[in-house]
Every structure is written in C-alpha cells, then in structure tokens.
A = this chain, B = another copy of it.
Amino acid sequence: MPSQSPIYFAKMNNMTDQDFVIGFDLGGTKLQATALDCSFSILATNRKKTRAVAGGEEVYQRIKDCIAELAGLPELKRRQLKGIGLGGPGILDSDTGVIVYTPNLHWENFPLGPRLNEDFSVPVCLENDVNMGLYGEFHFGAGKGFKHVIGLFPGTGIGGGLILNGELYRGTGNAGELGHMTIQVDGPFGAESMRGTLEALASRLAIAKEAAVLAAQGEAPWLLQNAGTDICNIRSGSIAKSIQNGDKSIERIVRRAARYLGIAMGSLVNIFSPEAIILGGGLVEKLEDIYMEESVKAMKENSFTFMSKDVKVLAAALGDDAVVMGAGKLVSQKLDR
C-alpha cells in the first residue's frame, strides 16, 4: 500500500453499526455511488450519467451531487458517513488522490480526492477503477479465499489488476496494465508506440475492426444489418447477438480473441503462479461460454502444466457493483489503520 496522505486520513475512527462508507464508480458514461454498512451490506445506491463532454468542473459537480443525494437519503439520515472510496479511470496517483490524466473526463492533474475530502469532511481514497473492481471481487466475489489473484477485463480496452500476497500490487504506482503485454511482435498497433499487445489483438475494438471488414464483405449478414460497419457501433452486445443469429465468421473472430486472452493468461501463470484468474468486462459478460472454453484451453497450452493445473479461471461475480464494493472495502481498511 502506498503511504497515506496526511490530508486524507486525518480522521481514522473505526466504523460502528451506525456508520457507513460510500464506494464510488467513476465511469466515462455513468457514475455510481453506493452506501455500505460496516459489514459491507449495500444500504442504497445512486446513479447518474457522467456527461463527460461537459468538462472537468461540471463532472466534478455531478460526482459531488451523486454522493450528496445518496448521503441525504432518508434511510441514511441517522447514519454517519465515515469515508469515500473511488475507483476512477486513467492515470492517477493513489497517494495524493490526484487524477493525473483522464482524456475522456477532460481532467489533467485534477485533485479529486482533496476536493471531495474538503466538501464532505471525511477521508477519501482513490484507486484505478480496474484495481477497485478486482479488489471487490477479491473480498466479496469470485476471488474470495485466494491470496494470489489476477484480473483480466476485456471490453473496449483490456484492463488488468493484480492481487499478490493478499494485497493490491501497484509497483511504483500503476502496475497491472495487463492489456498492454506484447503477445505478437510487430503485431497490430496499440497504445502509444506499442504493437501486438493483448489489447490490440483481443479488445472489443480489435474484434470490431475485424468484424466490420467481414460485415462489409458480406460475411456477417446479421451484423451488417443490425450494427453496420462503424466499429464504434459494434459493441459487445451486437457481437454476441450476431453470433446467436448465425454469423459464423464473427464467432471465429471472437474465438480467436478469447484464445489470445488465454495465451496471455498462460504467460501470467508462468510469471505469477497465481491461484486464480478472474475474467470480467463486457465481452466476457456477454460471451462467457466462448471465453471460458477458448481461454482456458489456450492458457493450458501456453504455460507449464505443473503451474496451470490448479489455477482456477472464474467469471467475475459482482457485475456493476464490483468497483463500489472494492472502493468501500479499501477506504474502510484505511479507516481501520
């Protein structure tokens, strides 16, 4: 765990039955604030659209409103808010609570943690949203009971996270960028100057670009008719439905992407010797059978048998609540210190 900023954790009282914390999921399109009691039961949830295009300060106001509305609900009136944990996108500094850079929220060096700390007068902690989601799964979902857990979340991009020795592993700050492992030297273009990364080969956008070509060539009639050839319109749901509706070519693309995921999982087994790998994200939610089948097969082919034979590959269990649960847990642990 990184050192704690003094601003943040000035108050560190333990929680009682009458207290609650808020876990917050700050997404590019939606916000979710969830109140959790001291045993992590959900008391209430409030959701809003992010309206990211409105820009930095307005997005902050919406976050603040989302939390204030939740905290003001009748069922929480007699309880006391003790802390706020947030999972946010982009590059952030969990020591200082500053979001360093999130292009889609128009934030650069935005002091989200300190601002919320000032406005709500409670400790705030901020962490990468993928890490928070994995932390939620680790404590309350598919990862319960393990000590070494790897999370992979293929969606528009591919997020990753690491629980090592029972704790989130951050390295010098932003470890766990598992979507940016190279699995194909000189492969398709990815983030920055990278090529052939897992994300460039197996994300939803990587699938969509192949699917769009096949749709344009008449090889995926359902997809062409229902989603078209704009890769931004070829979402996980359309991909799943196109397969259900008989677009065999799309199934082949998805199976290949799931195989690529499994190849990366094999490398991760050899690197970490984990007990469990949790798969989540839009593609796995919509196409779990294909993902489990192909990825486990490829994982076994691409790792030492004695290391992979006991690795559990599990689908994420908490759905949309993973981030808020992890965020609530993390801030409560900081309160306990």
Contacts and interface: CB of A to CB of B under 8 A. Distances in A.
Contacts of A267: 180-182
Contact-residue bracket for chain A: 35 or more
Contacts of A301: 193-194
Interface in A20-68: none
Contacts of A274: 171-172
Given A191-B304, A302-B193, A185 B272 contact: no
B302 A195 contact: yes
A264 interface: yes
Given A182-B263, A183-B183, A194-B266, A170 B273 contact: yes
A304 to B, nearest CB: 6
Interface stretch (A75-83, A106-114, A117-125, A305-313): A305-313
Nearest to A173: B273
A193 B172 CA distance: 34
Contact of A271 (B181, B191, B195, B307): B181
A172 B271 contact: no
Contact of A304 (B170, B180, B183, B302): B180
Contact of A174 (B170, B184, B201, B307): B307
A334 interface: no
A192 B305 contact: yes
A176 B173 CA distance: 20
B195 A172 contact: no
Given A169-B164, A303-B194, A271 B182 contact: no
Contacts of A270: 177-178, 180-181
Contacts of A192: 304-305
Contacts of A183: 182-185
A134 to B, nearest CB: 14
26 contacts: A91-B306, A148-B171, A148-B172, A160-B271, A165-B165, A165-B169, A171-B273, A172-B274, A172-B307, A173-B273, A174-B304, A174-B307, A175-B273, A176-B273, A177-B270, A177-B271, A178-B270, A181-B267, A182-B183, A182-B264, A182-B302, A183-B184, A185-B187, A185-B260, A185-B263, A192-B305
